[in-house]
Amino acid sequence: MKKLTKKEVLADIAALPENYKTRHVDALIKRYVKEGCDVSDLRDSVLSEQRLHRIYYYTSLKQLHDPSQRLRFIDENLLFSDWWHTDQLINFVSKADFNEALSYAKRYVEDEDPFVRRWGYVMFISKLCRDRGRVGSIFSLMKNDDEYYVQMAQAWLIAELAVFHSEEAYEFLSNEGTLRYSITGKAIQKICDSFRVSAEDKQRFRALRPALKAQE
């Protein structure tokens, strides 16, 4: 495996077109993956130099084909500085074993870092949430959180579950006192904004607003 230094990666970035776009960075990543490059030298810089964040994660994760190894890599590198850096990893865990992913998530949603907590929810916004038998376990992760970006992740996940499991999502939201309206209200808004939810279901979810809001 060819080990790249941070200096070499920065030189490659400097050679990209001026005002380069994500697609240019992705082309660089594709080359690194094809050449089997080790970019571990970037690890200590991804929080201070965000342009290296995508290169470090994507190059490393694309070379790991075992979903369990990908989960482990992310767990060992919970270096998130904002919502975008968290959410960009969703597709890498979509084929993971659900129970293994859940075991990580149970720990993440209790973490002090809000972006790690966010990851504990958004990691299920993929094929991981589509099996009906998993819905209860995912909803069991939900808890009140003061951080806006965590609340948005919870709302997004609830809305995604509503696409595939409308009845279960409706039952969860209609259980008064489960979550604050700052979360459930956002979830209902996302459900109503979705093109994948029927007009009839949107009306049902929207009708929950008054009772949920009254709890605040």
Question: Shortest CA distance to 123 belongs to which of 155, 157, 162?
Answer: 157
pLDDT tens sequence across 81-130: 999 999 999 999 999 999 999 999 999 999 999 999 999 999 999 999 99
Q: Which of 139, 81, 84 is nearest to 114 (CA)?
A: 81
Q: At what angle do helices 98-108 and 67-76 cross, to 10 degrees?
A: 10
pLDDT tens by residue, 43-66 = 999 999 888 999 999 999 999 999
Contact yes or no for 54/25 (Cβ under 8 A): yes
Say whether pTM exceeds 0.75: yes
Alpha carbon separation from 94 to 23, 125, 179 (Å, rounded): 22, 8, 26
Q: What is the mean pLDDT of the chain?
A: 96
